[in-house]
Structure 1
Amino acid sequence: MALNLTGFYQMVSQENMDAYLHALDINFALRKIVCFLRPNKDITHDPATGRMRIRTLTTFKNFDMDFTLGQTFTEDLGPVDGRVCQTTVDWQGDKLVCMQKGEKENRGWTHWVEGDLLHLEMRVQDVVAKQVFKKVR
């Protein structure tokens, strides 16, 4: 049975974010701002319906992702890099895996839990960035 990820998480670490943003063609100034931010994740997950909302909250800009597990949808990544892609999010074992098909190859992310830590691995082309969040409520 899939995990319920509902909760509020604060970032505790990140690595390789500048290279990841560079692979997305984000300009230098914006990359520096994003790398400085310490985002929080607010996740609402209803395992009974498969509905999920992941809100990434920062002092600069927020990003909402609202979807149903296993259903492909058109995702507007305008706030991130100005692109639109076809996105599918679903469980692969105990990991929540997102595949984003569009202009950039091998784009997506994976979330998984270890104890009270939520891990996020973001990938595009051959670049991988990682963030770790601690569940605070």
Structure 2
Amino acid sequence: MPVDLNGYWKMISNDNFEEYLKALDVHVAIRKIATLHIVTIIIIKTLSTYKHYNTDFYVAKEFEEDLPGVGDRKCMTTITWEGDKLVCVQKGEIEGRGWTHWVDGDELHLELRAGGVVSKQVFKKS
């Protein structure tokens, strides 16, 4: 049975995010704004001071995802459970793009990947 990721999670750390955005070819002004925003995740809805995202999906079923604001690209996305980790693979212009969510104690971890760059974010349940 997959781990329960439900709830509100507030960001407590954000490492290498600007480099991740560079790998996505995000404009410098947008990168600067995005690195300053405060993020709360409501699995799987992401709220920030910059942009809100809502993703509806079925596990293991590929879908077309529109990613406005952060890369402004569409990609084919598949999200699966790998043990206790929720893993996303996004196929499109950027090689190796995707993310992984997992819980360790009372923290939610998010690893973002694109073009060989990895950004790690940590959230506390609120």
Normalised to the residue count of structure 1, the TM-score between the two structures is: 0.89
Return the alpha-carbon distance in structure 2 between the equivalents of residues 82 and 17 of structure 1. 17
Q: Deviations over 1:2-46 (max 9, x none)?
A: 112110000000100010000101111110110011210011xxx
Work out whether residues 56 and 64 of structure 1, in 8 Å CA contact, stay in contact via their aligned partners in 2: yes
Q: Give 1:5's aligned amino acid.
A: L
Deviation, 1:105, is 0.3
Equivalent residue, structure 1, for 2:50:
60
Equivalent residue, structure 1, for 2:101:
111
Equivalent residue, structure 2, for 1:12:
12
Q: Give 2:123's aligned amino acid.
A: F
Q: Give 2:19's aligned amino acid.
A: A
- Where does structure 2 lack aligned partners over 5 or more consecutive residues? none
Work out whether residues 21 and 70 of structure 2, in 8 Å CA contact, stay in contact via their aligned partners in 1: no
Normalised to the residue count of structure 2, the TM-score between the two structures is: 0.97
Return the alpha-carbon distance in structure 2 between the equivalents of residues 57 and 68 of structure 1. 21
Q: Which of 69, 76, 98 is the matching residue for 1:79?
A: 69
- The 3-state SS of whatever aligns with 1:66 is coil
Q: Deviations over 1:78-104 (max 9, x none)?
A: 232110000000111111100000011
Deviation, 1:108, is 0.1
- The 3-state SS of whatever aligns with 1:80 is coil
- Identical residues among aligned pairs (%): 52
Equivalent residue, structure 2, for 1:125:
115
How many residues align? The count is 126
Equivalent residue, structure 2, for 1:34:
34
Please, what is the CA RMSD of the aligned residues? 0.8
Return the alpha-carbon distance in structure 2 between the equivalents of residues 77 and 28 of structure 1. 17
Runs of 4+ in 1 over 3 A off after TM superposition: none
